[in-house]
Structure 1
Amino acid sequence: MKGIIFTEFLELVENHFGLEVLDQVLEMSKDEGIYTSVGSYDHKDLVTLIVNLSKTSDIPAAHLQEVFGESVFKKLLATMPPAAALAHSTNSFEFIRHVEDYIHVEVKKLYPDAVPPSFEFISETETELILNYKSARCMSHVCLGLIKGCANHFGQQLNIQMKPLNDSGSEVRFNITLLD
């Protein structure tokens, strides 16, 4: 997992919970908290940080993942080159489709060892998008937050339903309906 995810998570914890809580979470996780945005790290370390923040804050880990995904959307968007097709998307559905067709392809080119999540598009109309999220990292709630961040970026209201497709959570169906 790319380091930008870790650096953004640590910043979110510090900004929303304070340095004392961040230090406590790092200590509980046996993590020094030293990450670079371009480094690659084991996703299990992020899961450990989220679980320990959940224990410290009494906020469910799934909700913390969602909040994180929503907050990190703008930062990830800002890292994209201006000429990218994504920068010219006009709505959430178009952007989400470009994530699979552009971002994940570019990530694999830049980092051959990267294994980004994948989206399998099931159906799409002007008002509904159904896709399957697949990731061995089982972080579908981060994906949910990213979709919410995307909707906020485009000023759209979406109804988002999630349905696990297996027991591990590595595959989740998203039914996304435009409410505007």
Structure 2
Amino acid sequence: MKGIIFTEFLELVEQQFGLETLDKVLDLSEDQGIYTSVGSYDHKSLVKLIVNLSKTTDIPADALQEVFGETVFISLLNTLPDNAGILDCTHCFDFVRHVEEYIHVEVKKLYPDANPPKFDFVSETETQLVFDYSSARCMGHVCIGLLKGCAKHFDQQIEIGSQSLNEQGSEVRFVVNLIE
């Protein structure tokens, strides 16, 4: 997992909960908190940080993942190069398709060892997008947050339904409805 995810998470924890909470979470996680945005790290370290933040704040880990996903959307968007084609996207659904069809492909070219999530599109209308998310990292709630951040970016209102397709949570079906 790219280091920008870790650096953004640590920054969010410090901003939302304070340096004392961040230090406690790092101690509980036996993590020094030393990450670079361009480095690659084991996603299990992020999971451990999220679980320990949940224990420290009594906020469910799923809710923390969603907040993180929504918050990190703009930071990730800003890391995309100008030629990434995002200017062609005028709608949240366009962008989600673009992530799978272009951004994930480019990530794999730049970082052959990268393992980004996979989106399999099931159906799409003007007001509904149905897709299956697959990721060994089991971070479907981060994906929900990213979808919320995306909708906010495009000034759209959405409702997100999700259904885990397996016990591990590595496969999730999302139903995203535009609210007019």
The two structures share one fold, judged by TM-score above 0.5: yes
Please report how far the alpha carbon of residue 87 of structure 1 lies from its aligned counterpart in structure 2 after TM superposition.
2.8
Please report how far the alpha carbon of residue 82 of structure 1 lies from its aligned counterpart in structure 2 after TM superposition.
1.6
1:118 corresponds in structure 2 to 118
Please report how far the alpha carbon of residue 50 of structure 1 lies from its aligned counterpart in structure 2 after TM superposition.
0.1
Q: Distance in 2 between matches of 1:92 and 1:58?
A: 32
Partner SS state of residue 82, structure 2: coil
Q: Which amino acid aligns with 1:119?
A: F
1:174 corresponds in structure 2 to 174
Q: Which amino acid aligns with 1:161?
A: G
Q: Distance in 2 between matches of 1:86 and 1:97?
A: 11
Q: Point out where structure 2 has 5 or more consecutive residues left out of the alignment.
A: none
Q: Distance in 2 between matches of 1:131 and 1:20?
A: 40
Percent identity over paired residues: 68
Q: Distance in 2 between matches of 1:147 and 1:132?
A: 13
What do you get for the CA RMSD once the two structures are aligned?
Answer: 0.5
Count of paired positions: 180
1:45 corresponds in structure 2 to 45
Q: Distance in 2 between matches of 1:79 and 1:70?
A: 16
Q: Distance in 2 between matches of 1:171 and 1:56?
A: 28
Residue pairs, 1:66-145, within 5 angstroms:
66-145=66-145
Residue 147 (str. 1) matches residue 147 (str. 2): yes
Q: Distance in 1 between matches of 2:87 and 2:9?
A: 24
Partner SS state of residue 83, structure 1: helix
Q: Which amino acid aligns with 2:34?
A: I
Q: Point out where structure 1 has 5 or more consecutive residues left out of the alignment.
A: none
When the two structures are superposed, what TM-score results if normalisation uses the length of structure 1?
0.99
